[in-house]
Chains A and B, each alone.
Chain A
């Protein structure tokens, strides 16, 4: 595969869209996949450019994932070019914070492949993708309130009684069921 460096992509973006706010964030890992963090206000425009620029032709957005950091949420896109056999380019957009300002633009209008994956990131992280054609929960059910992959998610303790040898788990389960008097708390009843 041809090496397509993020520096080159950044230079192309800056040449074509001088007002777009894009930043190169180095990745210390040996993988060397440095990320381009694009300001969410410019994300859609930059994505359109990356897809259509004849030098880049990043037509294949394979992977979309959400990440929860201490002060913001992040949507990560891994872009490849099938036409030019290049990639990957890591594109990131960031939310303002984790509670109220959790909106980033949806890139589904550019890459249809982001459809289900953005829904998944919305479901599990609570990132709101503005402009997504059908933003609903993907894996959890509609009535579910929380976002399980957030770091501060509190797992429910109403699981079925199990005589797991770990004292802490048994105690947690018993504490739950003694407070709600669930029929499942007496296993052999």
Chain B
């Protein structure tokens, strides 16, 4: 540890001093309790160290003490903006570990709720990045208004707005209520109009362009080496979407495109969310048209006292924030021997320093906002 922010101060040389600042943990633009130790020359960043652990609760240790099913509600609390995709990733990892088949209808329901989650995550992102740039208000409120409508759908389906606890090994907990599908379909129909409104509000705005374009540029090669995933990786021009690559669930039957950035700056990371939201709408419309009748849970799987065979598996899905994976080791017992989460929010921060070096202090918040993290997942 050579970097002590509380001991260093100005060098005393006029105009050429280094200043160490602790950004966060209590700051609205740090999306929770995230801290960065920053060294600046003037306003230019010369060193940046993220500090983690303020929200650490040893999720993995808790899971080792719980039954396999008992960890499902805890996954809701990882990335609390998108609990359903967390459920999905865990269910998929367990299904790989135990070799469980999922009924077709359940796969379609998973795609529908998963893509709705992606929609609301990207919508909230649009609001938050504006807040990071200092535009508290309109954009964030419009985004939350739309998210509220999706959360209403989730509440109707699962009983809770955010802590859904919806997926089960080999399916989903309950079938769609009568009338849910029609309501969801009608709602998704209105969504492009909202995205158009957001685009009119934001994408032409000169201040926004000045704040985003050319800031925090990241090459595709570095992004791959740094393990970045999801929209952040694709914004750097890498064509890698796990929905296409792993072709899990019923995604091979749905046609959609993978938007990619060209520059890899904050503007690309911003635009890619808008484009992905539009692709999600396409996926949803196809899924609404194709969803078959049938069972929603594999009856052969015993949820209580579930004991997968001994062995290990790494299962992953394309979450709204990136690759969400679970590494599970079973020794044939009622509890996992090892339960590890691969959190996209944490690993997407690997290259934060590289992106921030040489930029101004005000850009750090925008770059952090463009990565889209949730601290519940970073610190676990």
List residues of A whose CB falls within 8 A of some B CB: 1, 27-31, 33, 35, 59-63, 65, 67-68, 76, 78, 82, 85, 88, 90, 111-117, 124, 136-142, 148-149, 153
Contact = CB atoms under 8 A, between A and B. Distances in A.
Contact of B314 (A78, A85, A139): A78
B61 A149 contact: yes
Given A139-B53, A140-B56, A31 B347 contact: no
Interface stretch (B9-17, B186-194, B285-293, B338-346): B338-346
Contacts of A27: 311-313
* Interface size bracket, B side: 35 or more
Contacts of B228: 113
B327 A142 contact: no
B224 A60 contact: yes
A88 B315 CA distance: 10
B351 A112 contact: yes
B309 A88 contact: no
Contacts of B99: 29-31
10 contacts: A1-B246, A1-B247, A30-B309, A31-B311, A33-B314, A67-B329, A111-B227, A112-B222, A113-B225, A139-B53
Contacts of B226: 112-113
A25 B240 CA distance: 29
A113 B226 CA distance: 4
B309 A29 contact: yes
A139 B346 CA distance: 11
A149 B327 CA distance: 15
B53 to A, nearest CB: 4
B327 A65 contact: yes
Contacts of A35: 312
Contacts of A124: 58, 60
Contacts of B58: 124, 148-149
Contact of A29 (B313, B338, B349): B313
B96 interface: yes
Nearest to A142: B1
A12 B179 CA distance: 56
A98 B104 CA distance: 46
Q: Which residue of B97, B316, B327 has the most chain A CB atoms within 10 A of its CB atom?
A: B327
A35 to B, nearest CB: 8
Contacts of B342: 62-63, 65, 78
A112 B226 CA distance: 5
A62 B329 CA distance: 17
B330 A29 contact: yes
Across chains A and B, which 4 residue pairs bring their CB atoms closest together, nearest first?
A113-B227, A29-B311, A30-B99, A31-B313
Nearest to A64: B342
A68 B327 CA distance: 14
B309 to A, nearest CB: 6
Given A28-B310, A62-B323, A139 B56 contact: yes
A153 B1 CA distance: 26
Contacts of A31: 96-97, 99, 311-315
B359 interface: no
Contacts of A137: 53
Contact of B52 (A1, A111, A138): A138
Given A30-B96, A136-B1, A82 B238 contact: yes
Given A1-B247, A85-B245, 17 more contacts: A27-B312, A29-B98, A29-B309, A30-B99, A31-B311, A31-B315, A33-B313, A33-B314, A59-B224, A60-B227, A61-B227, A63-B342, A113-B226, A113-B228, A115-B350, A116-B349, A148-B58
Contacts of B231: none
Nearest to A28: B311
Contacts of B309: 28-30
B53 A141 contact: yes
Contacts of A113: 225-228, 347, 350
A112 B312 contact: no
B60 A78 contact: no
Contacts of A65: 327, 338, 340, 342
B379 interface: yes
Contact of B225 (A59, A78, A142): A59
Interface string B355-371: 00000000000000000
A1 B56 contact: no
B217 to A, nearest CB: 17
B264 interface: no
A149 B60 contact: yes
B308 interface: yes
Nearest to A150: B61
Interface string B301-322: 0000000111111111000000
A27 B351 CA distance: 33
A28 B346 CA distance: 31
